[in-house]
Amino acid sequence: MEVRLHGMWASPYVIRVIWALTLKGVEYEYIEEDLSNKSMAVLEYNPIYKKVPVLVHNGKPVIESAVILQYIEETWPDGTPLLPEDPYERAMARFWIDFGQQKSLTFFAFFLTSEEDKHKTAAQVLETLKILEEEALGDKKFFGGNTINMVDLFFGWLTYSFGCMEHISGVQVLLPKNLPRLHQWTLDFKQEPVIKENLPDSTALLEHFKRVTKHLKSSNKFNPA
C-alpha cells in the first residue's frame, strides 16, 4: 500500500493526521504502535525523535504532525483544502499552528499540575484559550471560517480533552461560561462527519490519560515549571 500511518490511538498528534487524510479521501494503512515497545519501522523512520505519527508515502517517511499536515495538503491538493488560498491568510493559519506548538507545554502542564499549582496552571490555560478565542477564532464558526481547515485539525484534540483535563487536574475550565465562542466551536467541530467518525473513545481516553499522568508524575519525566 502506498500510504501508511504509524500511530497511537490516544495521541493528539496522530489524530490530526488521521482527520487530514480522511478529509482528503486518501486511503492508507494504519499501524498501531505500542509506545513502550516501538516497531523497528518507527525507530528507523524517525531516528531523531522516535515518535509517532510517522507517515510513510511511497517508502519515504514524513514526521512531525505540523509538517505532515502541510505535506498532505501539497501532495493531495484536490479535495477539501486545508489551507486558505490567500498568502496572508495562509501565514495567519501557520502562525496559529506555531502558537499552538509554542503553547503545547501549557496544555500538558494542565494534566500534570501539582495540587498547589493547579489554579495558577488553570489560569494559564484559560489565558492561552482566550487568545485563541479572541484573536484566532473571533466571530467565525471554525478557525478556517465556514469550514474546518488545518488550524481546526491542529487544535481539534482539545475539543474532546477538556473533560479529561478537568477530571485529572480537579480544576474546572468552565468553557461554556468563560469562553462561549470556543465552547461552541468544540461542539460544531465534533459534529463534522469526518471528525465525528474519528474520535477516540472517551472512557478509554480518560483511563489512558490517568495511566500516563501517573507514570510521568512518578518518574519525574515531566516538569511543567
Give contact residues for a copy of itself (rule: CB under 8 A). 48, 57, 60, 62-64, 66-68, 70-71, 74-75, 87-88, 90-91, 94-95, 98-99, 101, 131, 135
Nearer to a copy of itself, 51 or 183 (CB): 51
Minimum CB distance to a copy of itself, residue 167 (Å): 30
Rama region for 170: left / alpha / beta (φ>0; ψ in -120 to 50; rest)? left
Minimum CB distance to a copy of itself, residue 101 (Å): 8
Burial readout 82-119 (b: 16 or more C-beta within 10 A, e: otherwise): bbbeeeeeeebbeebbebbeebeebbbbbbbbeeeeee
Cα separation of 94 and 78, whole Å?
20
Minimum CB distance to a copy of itself, residue 205 (Å): 26
Nearer to a copy of itself, 88 or 116 (CB): 88
Nearer to a copy of itself, 53 or 164 (CB): 53
Query: In Å, how far from its chain's centre is CA 32?
Result: 17
Nearer to a copy of itself, 96 or 209 (CB): 96
Minimum CB distance to a copy of itself, residue 153 (Å): 16
- Order the strands of the 60-63 sheet from edge to edge: 29-32, 3-7, 54-57, 60-63
Nearer to a copy of itself, 87 or 193 (CB): 87
Minimum CB distance to a copy of itself, residue 192 (Å): 26
Of 132, 112, 114, nearest to 178 by C-alpha is 132
